Structures are given as C-alpha cells and as structure tokens.
Structure 1
Amino acid sequence: MKNKIHSVLFGLAVGDALGVPVEFQNRELLKRFPVIDMRENGSHRQLKGTWSDDSSLAFCLADSLCNGYNIEDIATKFLQWKNAEIWTPHGSVFDIGIATRNAIYRIAQGEQPTLCGGFDEEDNGNGSLMRILPIAFYLKDEADLNLIYQTVKDVSSITHAHFRSVFACFIYIIYTLELLKIENKFDAYQKTKTIVNNFIVDKEFNEREIQLFDRILKSNINEFDKDKINSSGYVLHSLEASFWCILNSSTYKETVLKAVNLGEDTDTTAAIAGGLAGLIYGYDEIPVEWINVLARRKDITELCDKLDKKTLNLN
C-alpha cells in the first residue's frame, strides 16, 4: 500500500502544480503554447512546483485520516488550512473556491460539518471532488456500498452537499477502489459502471440528476471527441474530463499534461486525473524532476508514510 499512497498523493500534487500557472487559460491559447513542463509565475504568480487548494485540502483529509476517520477533525483541519496554520505550500492561502470559503466560514461558526456545504444546484463546483481521493484508503476494505456512499457523502458535504457533487465523488471513489483491485484501468472503468448502475437501482435518487451522469455511466467517456469534453470548474465537467484524460493516455506524464492543456480549471482537472494516474502507473513513473521541485516534498513524503502506517493497522 505504501507505494500506492505515495503514488496517489504525489500524483495529485504534481498534476495540481503543473496546472497552477495556467489556471483560467483557454484551450486555444494552450494549443498554441502548450504546457510541457513545470512553470513558475503565471496566473497566481507562484514559484515552480507550487500546488493549490486542491492538494492542500486533500492533504488535510489524508492528515486527518492518519488519526482515524472523524468528520469533525476533517472539518477542523480545513479550517486550520484556511487560517494558514497547516498544509499551505508557502505559508499562505492563494486560491480558494467560493463554496469552500463559505463552508469553512460555517465550520468556524460551529455548525455540524455535514451541513456546512452548499445544498443548492449552483453549489456544484469541483471543490469536494478535487480533495476526496484519500478517503479511498480508509474505504479500501469496505464491502458495504451503502456505507461507502454515506462516508463519501459526509466527506463531500463538508463543503459540497448537493447530490450532484456527492454522486460525482462516489463514482470517482468507486473507480479508485476498483483500481486498487484491478490493474487494468479499462476493466476498472467497466466494473465501476456496473457497480454504480446496480447500486442506484433500488435508490430513490432524482432521475434527472442521475441522467446527468449518462456519458460516464451509460457510454464510454473516452470515446467522446476532445471538443465534447469540457474542463470548467463544474463538478460534472471535472469528473468527465479527468476520466477522459486517464482513459486516453498511456503514461502518467501524458495524462496530466493532457489534463492541463484542456484549459480553464487546469490545476483541478490535472489533480483529479493525476491522483488516479499515479495509482495506475506508480510513483516511479512520475517524472523525478517534477517531484524534486514540488513544494514541501519532504512533508508530503512524511504524510504518505504516516498514512501508510495507519492503513496497515486497519488490516
């Protein structure tokens, strides 16, 4: 499991850092001037290897899980990050989504964590999808799909409580859990579709909401043309784009560069795809020159080691 935890967390953070300098740039501009390596400055005027809130909040979740699963503690760590006490790349928060900011304000007011996230349709940014991945290591031996769904729902709802965000996270985590069992990413994708489609049969979920996921659950998302794949900060776009990049690439490097060069929410698409690409191809396939410039690389390694010890104790 050790190599997988390192692969996932570094895969996520490296993808994030590749995308930070070109966040908000459109696809046409990146087609002319594609990202092929780590950059500095750019959209947020950050040093090379700087990751964003995507990685920060994923690290907060992983850090909390090192002490067991506690939804209150996860929320507290998100608040500590916002106050620049933990898991910022250089000591300050330079990027935070509106929904996440509002949720953390409610956390600070003492509200129940699972009620802090936005419940409205317009609250479906990718802010929970981008940081949900570490929960897979807590759930890796869980067979009860209802419990998996409820856990994912609770963790997502700290910042994003609408069904659409929760369900996107659920699909993503089911795919991750399948990748932990099945080496072939295409087989894992087909198994994920079967599991999720069977899971929803006897549930009273909103049919209109479920239909929004048809391109992933009833079609093969990798067969869509690139111009049919959106890469905005909308949770459904981020889920589709990350799956599309994963299934249409053959290396870690190709996956994350493809994600970044889709444009718009570059760091988040690459983080979401990068975590899974790390799992698929392994830590050693992440370019060492990218790892070496990553902010707080030693701290991330220590976090991975700590989480590995915890997951071993869960077995």
Structure 2
Amino acid sequence: MDLEDKIRGMLFGLALGDALGGPLEFMKEEDIRWQFGIVEDMIGGGWLKLEPGETTDDTAMTLCVVKGIMENKEEPIDAIGKYFMEWYASEPKDIGMGTRHALEAYQVHRNWIKAGEAAHTASGGRSAGNGALMRCAPVAYFYRDDYEKMIAVTKAQSQMTHIDPLGIEACCINNHIVWELLQGKALEEGVQTALEKYDIQGRYRDCIERTVQYQQLNPSGFAVDTLRCSLYALMNTGDFYDAVVTAVNMGGDADTIGAVTGAIAGVHYGYAALPAIWVYQLKDFHEIDALCEAIMD
C-alpha cells in the first residue's frame, strides 16, 4: 500500500464515518436499533436534516487543517486558523460549542492561544470535547518524517480550541497510532505503543486488552469517550466497513466517533478497501479528491 492510498483512505475514511454517523447524532443506540436496525447506508436526515452523503463540521474542519498545513508547513497554526475563520463565516449547519467559543474569542483577541484559553474558561474549565480530536489525523501524515514536530503540531492545533490536557492526550494517542500505521506498523502495535507513551492513567488500557464490554462505552462528545469508542470499533472488527458501522451505530456523538474511526481505519486498510457505493455518495467527493491530488503533487 503506497502513501497515496493511505492519505486517500484517511480523508475519505473520515468523511465516510462522518456522513454515515451524522444522521444518528444524539440518538440512543436502542432508538437506532428500533428505528433502523443497523445503519449501514447513507440515509441522511437526523437533527441537522442532512442529505445522504452530506458531512458535518468534522470533515470541514479537517480539510481546514489540511489546507493550512499545505500553505505553511513550518508554522501552520495561523494558516489553519485562517481557514477555520473562513469556514465559520460561511455559517455552517453545525459547530461544536467549544469550537464556537474559541472562534468567537479569536475575533476579539486575534491570538489562538488566547482563543483557546477563553473557550476553556467559557466551558467552566472543561474543554476536553472531541472537536480537536476529530480533525487532527492529517497532521500525522504531513509530519510523518519528523515525529517530534508531528506531536508539537498535534498539540498546537488542539490548543487553538481545546486546551484541556485530556483532549490533547487523546489527540496525541490518535496521531501516534496514525503515525505508526504510516510507518508500516500493524494496527495493534500502533495502539499498544501509543498507550504506553501517552495513556499514563490507563483510561484506554481495556481497549487494547479487549476487556472492555460494549455496554461500558459512552458515546459522548468527551474526547476520552470518543476515542475509547473508536478504539473498541477498530480493535474488534477486521475491515473498514465493520469498523465504521460498529462506531456509528453506538449513537451519541456518532458523526465524530465515525470520523475518528474512519480516519484511522482508512489509513490502516487503505482507500481501495473503502466501500465504493459510500465513496461516490459523498457530497464532498470532488473537493476531497482534488485535495488528495494536490497533496500528492
């Protein structure tokens, strides 16, 4: 599998998880099962009234991260922020509360550190939402030859909107896994080394040990919960399709759990493993395809 297959797998995989999970956001698992059985098609709908294949802020902000790094790889934060603000000005359908606080604060302070601090204060000191986790995976690709720089940018892009250490820890675990996959390592090895390096408190240990029960997972918007759900879906399935379907049918913050799972699974299994019927239903297909071409160029 070459690098193009992996970056396409990452970006399209993230968008597929987002679009598949978007209509299920805020639903309980039992309500999903009662209404749909198992969701494995692009159904659209949900509280955002999405069209089948339409993505949310997860994909939009991820593409902002990609564009910002491509514009200024050495010092990407201001460039990423520029694209965040352009997206914000477009009046998107959905934007997380913590992210909204940060973008509004940036308009006042014109400084991303102060914006992140203001959002943290506005959240009552609980800014470990999954809004930075959902968008961080491309950082691992662009800095795949410099691990320390990769981690520094991973942390910095989180601090723009989510400065809580638990959220930053989740981003580091996520991107360590992606980085290891880009080095050709196996998924389980990548998860194992990520947890050894960053999971000091053992919040994710039962995921790699496969001792966590499905009923113990909480598909909330808390970054730790989101990553735990994604790790469960990744470690207990054998292909991209099953991983993403498992992730989104948990309900809760289904679009982000799907996006995080889809990005990692996309790198692991590659673009060729993504269900073509899903890929060509994506409303963002042409934009993501063109961006992948630009990355490879």
**Hey, what's the Cα distance between the residues in 1 that align with 2:43 and 2:115?**
35
- Check the 8 A contact 2:207/2:228 in 1, yes or no: no
1:73 aligns with 2:72: no
Name the structure 1 match of 2:178. Answer: 176
**Hey, what's the Cα distance between the residues in 2 that align with 1:285 and 1:103?**
37
Name the structure 2 match of 1:304. Answer: 292
The one-letter amino acid of 2:152's match is Q
Q: How does 1:84-163 map to 2 (within 5 A)?
A: 84=90, 92-117=91-116, 118-119=119-120, 121-144=125-148, 147-163=149-165
Name the structure 2 match of 1:51. Answer: 55
Name the structure 1 match of 2:255. Answer: 267
Change (3 A) 1:114 1:217: farther
The one-letter amino acid of 1:14's match is L
The one of 7, 11, 30 equivalent to 2:13 is: 11
Of all paired residues, the percent bearing the same amino acid is 30
Name the structure 2 match of 1:200. Answer: none
What is the aligned length? 286
Offset of residue 179 of structure 1: 1.1
Other structure's SS at 1:293 match: coil
Other structure's SS at 1:122 match: coil
1:292 aligns with 2:280: yes
Other structure's SS at 1:43 match: coil
Change (3 A) 1:166 1:137: same
**Hey, what's the Cα distance between the residues in 2 that align with 1:263 and 1:218?**
21
Name the structure 1 match of 2:88. Answer: 82
Q: Which moved more, 1:228-237 or 1:32-41?
A: 32-41
What stretches of structure 1 move > 6 A for 4+ residues in a row? none
**Hey, what's the Cα distance between the residues in 1 that align with 2:151 and 2:70?**
21
Name the structure 2 match of 1:25. Answer: 27
Consecutive unaligned residues of structure 1, counting only runs of 5 or more, are 85-91, 198-209, 310-315
1:283 aligns with 2:275: no
Q: Deviations over 1:27-72 (max 9, x none)?
A: 1112332212110222211211000000000011011122233211
- Check the 8 A contact 2:71/2:79 in 1, yes or no: no
Report the aligned-residue RMSD: 1.7
